[in-house]
Amino acid sequence: MTARAATVRAHANIALAKYWGKADIARNLPAVPSLSLTLKGMRTTTEVEFLPELGQDELFLNGARALGKPRERASKLLSEARSLAQVATFARVRSHNDFPTASGLASSASGFAALALAAVEALGLRLPLERVSALARAASASAARSLYGGYVELGASAEHAAPVAPPEHWPLKMLVAVTSEAAKDTGSTDGMQHTAKTSPYYASWVSDAPRLFAEVKAAVLAKDFARLAPAAEQSALAMHASMLAASPALIYFRPATLAVIEAVRAARRAGSACCFTIDAGPHVKVLVEPSSAAAMQRELAGVEGVLRVLESEPGPDAQILPGGAAELSP
Ligand code: PMV
């Protein structure tokens, strides 16, 4: 095979109805349905080059060579793509995030979505986007959702994600209150396994999550913020409740996490259309109607322990960049 390359840009996504737990560990199928918002401006750009001279896959993350687990996970996805294309050539992957990688801001979702589409494109495979989403899902289930823009769902035990509504359907703002620069200490796969094995609340989470997902989906389709807010917050907190009841407890909250929750609840009592969600990390993501966004941004920036606030809005599908390799260097 001659050298072939492709460059893809994919966006982070934040779940409004959370995924936590696996129905099938080996195939990485989710135990519960989830619904997310793909975010404009929080992007991963990934170039994949299949090069006959390589003796193994190589991964560069933000310019630095990555070894160990990150390289193995990328290599596993590349091997799936190689077997579909029936080639044996290894690849050099150069991936760059324009948002902080180490601080648990959903970089695996945009990263594996970009890698899956770039690998498929570089190999000349003509696959429907849902097959690419399935390839990404096997590496990180939330990555299946980042292939699509706007509001996106991933069903329980689903192979691939599916679009629910395009970005322009409901142009809300998402504010990310960053509360720590540290890398998270428990990754999501380990955290899910630990919760499933040791938390008496895990079964309750799995049985109630579909109801919360249905509520979030109906609210998104109806653009009904008053319906969305309680369902999205309950989904995030029920997921965290299952982790808090694990043994030992999995606590991702920091004092600043709770301070932001309080600020959002106070703003809502004062009439703002806003709600929070929290992933497997200490940051708080605040969904807000555009008319309340500037005031909310100032409010969050003033909360003790908030380091900075990123602002985003619904973003597009993953895109193949024409000749886009030039802007990356290892
Ligand atoms: O796809 P993973 O393994 O990174 O898991 C993501 C889990 C959460 O971010 C906590 C929730 C979600 O649905 O994105």
Which spans in the chain are helix H?
Answer: 68-85, 107-122, 129-139, 188-198, 202-222, 225-244, 255-269, 290-301
> What does the pLDDT read at residue 99?
77
* Same domain, yes or no: 85 and 188: no
Name, in order, each residue with C-beta under 8 angstroms of 66's C-beta and a sequence gap of 6 or more: 59, 60, 74
C-alpha closest to that of 188 among 74, 106, 115, 72: 106
Q: Residue 327 pLDDT more than 60?
A: no
Q: Which domain holds residue 94?
A: 4-166+322-328
Per-residue confidence band for 101, with pLDDT thresholds at 50, 70 and 90: low
Q: What is the pLDDT of residue 328?
A: 39
For residue 21, the 8-state DSSP code is: S
Within-domain flag for 194: yes
Q: How far apart are CA 266 and CA 277, in angstroms?
A: 15
pLDDT at 180: 87
More confident site: 2 or 26: 26
Cα distances (angstroms) measured from residue 77 to each of 18, 58, 90:
24, 13, 12
**Pocket perturbation via mutation, ligand 1, pick of 44, 107, 142 by most ligand atoms within 8 A of CB:** 142
How many A from CA of 202 to the centre of ligand 1?
16
Distance CA 141, CA 114 (A): 14
Residue 296 has which token pair?
């909310």
The two structure tokens encoding residue 191: 């955290």
- The total domain count for the chain is 2
The pLDDT, as a whole number, for residue 324 is 47
Residue 61's beta-bridge partner residues? 64, 95
CA nearest to 256, candidates 203, 296, 303: 303
The whole-chain average pLDDT of the chain stands at 94
Separation of CA 87 and ligand 1 centre (Å): 31
| Sole residue written with tokens 């720590």 | 180
Question: Does residue 202 have its Cβ closer than 6 Å to ligand 1?
Answer: no
CATH classification of the domain holding 254:
3.30.70.890
Place of tokens 């500037």: 294
Residue 43 sits in a domain whose CATH number is 3.30.230.10
Domain co-membership, 160 together with 201: no
Residue nearest to atom 9 of ligand 1 (CA): 279
Please indicate, yes or no, whether residues 53 and 196 belong to a single structural domain of this protein: no
Q: Would you say the CB of residue 97 lies under 6 angstroms from ligand 1?
A: no
Q: What is the pLDDT of residue 107?
A: 72
* Any atom of ligand 1 within 6 Å of the Cβ of 142: yes
Residue 317 lies in a domain: no
pLDDT over 90 percentage in the chain: 90
pLDDT in tens, 247-257: 999 999 999 99
Which carries the bigger pLDDT value, residue 105 or residue 136? 136
Give the pLDDT band of residue 216 (cuts 50, 70, 90).
very high
Confirm or reject: Cβ of 199 under 6 Å from ligand 1: no
Report the predicted TM-score, pTM, of the whole model to 2 decimal places.
Answer: 0.95
pLDDT at 57: 98
251, 279, 285, best to mutate for ligand 1 pocket (most atoms within 8 Å of CB): 279
- Asked if residue 148 and residue 10 are part of one domain, the reply reads yes
Statement to judge: residues 212 and 153 lie in one domain: no
Average pLDDT of the segment spanning 298-325: 92
Q: Is 19 in the pocket of ligand 1 (CB under 6 A)?
A: yes
Instruction: Confirm if 280 and 104 have CB atoms less than 8 A apart.
Output: yes
Residue nearest to atom 10 of ligand 1 (CA): 279
